[in-house]
Structure 1
């Protein structure tokens, strides 16, 4: 069953919203003093609102620190100073700024002011000029922090939408790259870019995603992770259905495969969809390594997933109900290790898992150097003290450490959090029902994943529905000459990335 939250649907306008529609059609006052009062009232007269009068009946409105001061002084004020201009058209011709729009609506003028534009009002005219010279502060491009790799590009997205799009166009130099700009949030007015390749991306998926975004009715949008959860197929599922990445090369590779990308202004993480379950365990570096090495690493990540989720529950179930599965040579050291432990295995395992999560969260929230020290020293001190005090056994301490280490192998931070969470209910079921509880949890997770979709595409593709030819390039990274087909998950218009069978030269 798919769940949809109420804020995913745009409610029809009520009776109270009718005056707002009328306010959107208020025209600009031709009297300068009246227009100044209108701007001050609409913006609550902020301290950083600059109102600058220029001789010859011109008035400039802008927010301090949001505009490019050099362009303002050299290309606007210098061209308008001491020059008579009688109409908005003549002023537009005198300006050497590329983005100039003439408008007669008060709301458009207010929106442009808060977005970093300069509004020029001409006394006696009910029109204003909207000059876009926005200058938003943003950090320089740097290496990705959460998706580091040895071989490949060392640049990641930042919080500037225009900068991120320019980086993408540096990778994809093609006019087929479509960039649609949308606005979300009645108060934040956040810009969102929808990117896809024309002629490759499936039109139905593009329309579905566009409709989901435009149907959102909310006050604020501050990060792409919030947007991905709100437009998921199933927002109540713990498994992510859209990938968050800070790597431009991974984003562009997905776009060229027929997927759709979303970039939110103010967020350094981009969204990629649709996404299958196995793709969360794939890294962009897999494409840069030899296929044998990349295959080994992929198998290692998937093995680490099952190890992290089921190793501790297996220990709890074996010691609680199923001693017969433990090798006889291992029973004596296991019994000696647990001789002084007064707690049952389920309590012992949950206590250690809770301590590991505390150390991990503390290390993530503290400054980098202190966090690393706390994680290492805290783990050694607490682990040694717990064994000496008889709270836990040496063997369980090793198992918990292996499970925690295996959970870090997922390239996706969102999937790593899922691994951390689902381990706890499986441990509880193993403590109450043994291996039957583990199988019950496995069946529940499998059924849930089988019912899951990502933008309408099967979440467990290509295993369900089964596609034999694509299975080999999901867990195994096939040689690049054998990966000419785009994944069926995207239902791309152009199925081939290159010629599947290149023509071999004839032997002379």
Structure 2
């Protein structure tokens, strides 16, 4: 055979033995790299792949059975035409070959050709679709994302059956590459948001990204705040709902959660269940969650401030009860409250890290035993235990685990301010918190919208819900391309068939 012109990579054409030496050097003589040379009609053909990443039976059945049963010499063009496998492609760069091997591709090289061929026969180890562990729902779909990108893309595609659904492929990691997708609906998502997110993802120069929660910390607007600026969800219905409202999703291989951007502060207190319930019930539950935020931040600090500085705020009967409860406590209220809050967080963290059955037992029994023993030992008062337990319960009403954790952390500085300056300290803390929230952006959008900038027409999207026929427009603060989602006149005209 006439020798081909050398390719731009400087490797091909070559001998299979030389190619094998190059791969052994790159993979440090890894025994999992299978490199076999076959001779067909006096023509040497090399087949190489990483053993545990491919399906051996498919290699035997779909490749080798056809490759070795040939009465004439092969060419790359013949292989692509006669082997009935999809996504077969020719590769000439060594870096592409190395990346393909890691991704689970099988390569075929015919001696003296100027490139080799690759076929994706990856053996995907996938977890079955189950329920979400971090976002539990009572009403609505129960399926959750898995660690397999292909499965997650299918879950989105099944829900958003539109030709406008765009799934741009993006790769992360300069040392260990990970595939990701930037997902949006082209006719809805704001182009500025798309370009901003794409630019941040492409500019990220990092060795490796393990999970979307890690990726989120690199691409969000501010890294010096407790509050997450993007929402991460394990629920396909929430992701598809966000896409149909003009938002953007980022998906990553090996990650069971999806980034949703841009996001508002109040979006972290929404739940997909709100959409599946009656509008008035959904509104009530949202109010409960927002009220729980105030309880978890202010209930224990208000107790500390009142007992330390402002006895006149407490009714006489309750003041007597608090005095009797604290009669044997040797510590000031601020130390007492911080100690109890620390014990609550200790129990919560231990219950989360232990096996499920043991964790539940530790959380219940540990809380009862430690609380009772603390009161009997005179370390704390029983009234403060009630307030601390209510604050802890209120923090768990947030659908977002990240936002719930942020509210629990903020409770500690609020207690310190209350114990140092009383009600004035609590007001200082609230003002600083509001100023901080006003400065936060989510993909360049105001974090507190529609509260600031004030947009009354968007209140029924995040603060409360109206009947479905009055929800004809999308969230205008994020400027989607198509603001209307429902024809109000047609949806309101509910006529019986006999009219």
TM-score, length-normalised on structure 1? 0.93
Partner of 2:39: 55
Q: Per the alignment, in what secondary structure is the counterpart of residue 474 of structure 2? A: coil
Partner of 1:13: none
Partner of 1:20: none
Q: Per the alignment, in what secondary structure is the counterpart of residue 461 of structure 2? A: coil
Which whole-Å CA distance do the structure 2 matches of 1:240 and 1:69 have between them?
A: 44
1:71-90 alignment runs, 5 A limit = 71-83=58-70, 84-90=72-78
Which whole-Å CA distance do the structure 2 matches of 1:225 and 1:324 have between them?
A: 47
Alignment of 1:423 onto 2:411: yes
Q: Per the alignment, in what secondary structure is the counterpart of residue 37 of structure 1? A: helix
Q: Per the alignment, in what secondary structure is the counterpart of residue 472 of structure 1? A: helix
Mind listing any 5+ residue stretches in structure 2 that lack a counterpart? 1-7
Aligned mate of 2:51, from 64, 70, 88: 64
The 10-residue stretch of structure 1 (384-393 or 99-108) with the greater mean CA deviation from structure 2:
99-108
Alignment of 1:181 onto 2:169: yes
Which whole-Å CA distance do the structure 1 matches of 2:45 and 2:92 have between them?
A: 16
Alignment of 1:498 onto 2:486: yes
Query: Deviation at 1:407?
Result: 0.6
Alignment of 1:117 onto 2:105: yes
**What CA RMSD, in Å, does the superposition of the two structures yield over aligned residues?**
1.5
Partner of 1:27: 11
1:259-278 alignment runs, 5 A limit = 259-278=247-266
Deviations 1:96-140 (A, max 9, x none): 111111122111111111110011111122310011111221111
Query: Deviation at 1:505?
Result: 7.8
The question of whether the paired residues in 2 share the 8 Å contact of 1:274 and 1:489 is answered with: no
The 10-residue stretch of structure 1 (220-229 or 41-50) with the greater mean CA deviation from structure 2:
41-50
1:155-194 alignment runs, 5 A limit = 155-194=143-182
Q: Per the alignment, in what secondary structure is the counterpart of residue 36 of structure 1? A: helix
Which whole-Å CA distance do the structure 2 matches of 1:29 and 1:468 have between them?
A: 68
The question of whether the paired residues in 2 share the 8 Å contact of 1:31 and 1:125 is answered with: no
Query: Deviation at 1:47?
Result: 1.7
Partner of 1:130: 118
The question of whether the paired residues in 2 share the 8 Å contact of 1:485 and 1:500 is answered with: no
Query: Deviation at 1:498?
Result: 1.7
Which whole-Å CA distance do the structure 2 matches of 1:340 and 1:72 have between them?
A: 77
Structure 1 residues 318 and 132, CA, compared in 2 at 3 Å: closer, same or farther?
same
Partner of 2:197: 209
Partner of 1:402: 390
Deviations 1:392-420 (A, max 9, x none): 00100100010011110000001011011
The question of whether the paired residues in 2 share the 8 Å contact of 1:241 and 1:454 is answered with: yes
Partner of 1:229: 217
Question: Number of residue pairs matched?
Answer: 486
Alignment of 1:46 onto 2:30: yes
Query: Deviation at 1:467?
Result: 0.7
Query: Deviation at 1:29?
Result: 4.3
The question of whether the paired residues in 2 share the 8 Å contact of 1:28 and 1:106 is answered with: no
Alignment of 1:303 onto 2:303: no
Which whole-Å CA distance do the structure 2 matches of 1:270 and 1:85 have between them?
A: 49
Which whole-Å CA distance do the structure 2 matches of 1:431 and 1:183 have between them?
A: 50
Deviations 1:480-501 (A, max 9, x none): 2111111023210000112132
Partner of 2:187: 199
Alignment of 1:466 onto 2:450: no
Alignment of 1:333 onto 2:321: yes
Moved segments of 4+, more than 6 Å? 505-508
The 10-residue stretch of structure 1 (337-346 or 75-84) with the greater mean CA deviation from structure 2:
75-84
Q: Per the alignment, in what secondary structure is the counterpart of residue 488 of structure 2? A: coil
Which whole-Å CA distance do the structure 1 matches of 2:145 and 2:219 have between them?
A: 22
Query: Deviation at 1:71?
Result: 2.1
The question of whether the paired residues in 1 share the 8 Å contact of 2:9 and 2:92 is answered with: no
Mind listing any 5+ residue stretches in structure 1 that lack a counterpart? 1-23
The question of whether the paired residues in 2 share the 8 Å contact of 1:317 and 1:431 is answered with: yes
Alignment of 1:452 onto 2:440: yes
Q: Per the alignment, in what secondary structure is the counterpart of residue 11 of structure 2? A: coil
